Structure 1
Amino acid sequence: MEQIEIREVRFDEPAVQELIGQAMAELSSRYGGSGDDTPVAAADFAPPGGAFFVAQEASGRLIGCGGWREHGDDAELKRMFTIAAARGRGVARRVLAAIEESARERGRKRVILETGDKQPEAVALYEKYGYERIEDFGYYKGEPGVLSYARVL
């Protein structure tokens, strides 16, 4: 199996934004519109108040990503994505582990996230790794199909 490296990057790097574009296109195909209208800025993921990670194959191809940003005392997970060709290889779990470690190292006690009912594979991932349903909190609070989760670190 090819080596996959998880590394911290700047959210506004062109290659990262290209991957984010793929993520938004997939969300758009599931939910319509832009896919996710939650306001997100590169500064949200700048240390110490956040971090963004990519999964990269030895060939240099980016195959997954995700990050966290401050949300009160919590770390809010954002922009988790694995390209279709790389699914089933543990990419999302490794990115999630890097996010959790980074948040823990920077004093966060909990990771929170919003997802939706049209992303059953995401829901399965989060539940498998100990995330539990919480009251909706984010941009889509109160919208049909929104699912909010948290995990104490």
Structure 2
Amino acid sequence: MERLQITHPDAQLLVEAVQEEYVARYGGRDESPVDPRDFEDPLGQFFVGYLDGVPVATGAWRRSSVTALGADVTAEVKRMYVVPAAQRRGVARRMLAHLEATARGAGIQALVLETGMKQPEAIELYLSSGYEPIPGFGYYSDSDLSRCFARRIDSA
């Protein structure tokens, strides 16, 4: 996993690919607000995963005001995506572990995230990685299609 700016061409290529995936699954782009500065120190970090020199995955975290699982210092997982050609190879699980380790290193106690009901593979990844359902938060907090999860990472 390589830490990059969200504005890096490889990052932008994959961010656009995930937006196209949202259009296919939900009929529109993700409109939740994202400021590129959210992924710069000390607010957060953005990563791109490569296979054979080709960018195939993104993942990021940004500090959050959401309290979850008794943690006061949290960060939100954003822009988790793996291109179809690299799926089912453990790339998403490695990216998630990397996000947890880097967030833990920055003093984060728990990660929170939001995903959609039309992304069952994402829900399965989070549940099988120890994430627990939590009440909705953020931009999609009132959406019937949204599911939110959290995991304590400070003792992992």
Using the size of structure 1 for normalisation, the TM-score is 0.93
2:58 is matched with which residue? 65
2:82 is matched with which residue? 82
Letter in 2 for 1:43: R
2:41 is matched with which residue? 47
Question: What is the rounded CA distance, in whole Å, between the counterparts of 1:47 and 1:126 in structure 2?
Answer: 25
Question: What is the rounded CA distance, in whole Å, between the counterparts of 2:114 and 2:140 in structure 1?
Answer: 8
Shift of 1:26: 0.4
2:145 is matched with which residue? 145
| Unaligned segments of structure 2, at least 5 residues | 66-72
| Unaligned segments of structure 1, at least 5 residues | 1-5
Using the size of structure 2 for normalisation, the TM-score is 0.91
1:14 to 3, 9, 16: 9
Question: What is the rounded CA distance, in whole Å, between the counterparts of 1:138 and 1:148 in structure 2?
Answer: 10
Letter in 2 for 1:124: E
Q: Is this contact kept in 1: 2:59–2:95, CA < 8 A? A: yes
Shift of 1:57: 1.6
Question: What is the rounded CA distance, in whole Å, between the counterparts of 1:51 and 1:92 in structure 2?
Answer: 16
Shift of 1:113: 0.2
Q: Is this contact kept in 1: 2:10–2:48, CA < 8 A? A: no
Runs of 4+ aligned residues of structure 1 deviating over 6 Å after TM superposition are: none
Shift of 1:136: 0.4
Question: What is the rounded CA distance, in whole Å, between the counterparts of 1:88 and 1:68 in structure 2?
Answer: 22
Answer with 107-116 or 41-50: which moved more.
41-50
Structure 1 vs Structure 2: percent identity of aligned residues?
42
Question: What is the rounded CA distance, in whole Å, between the counterparts of 2:22 and 2:28 in structure 1?
Answer: 9
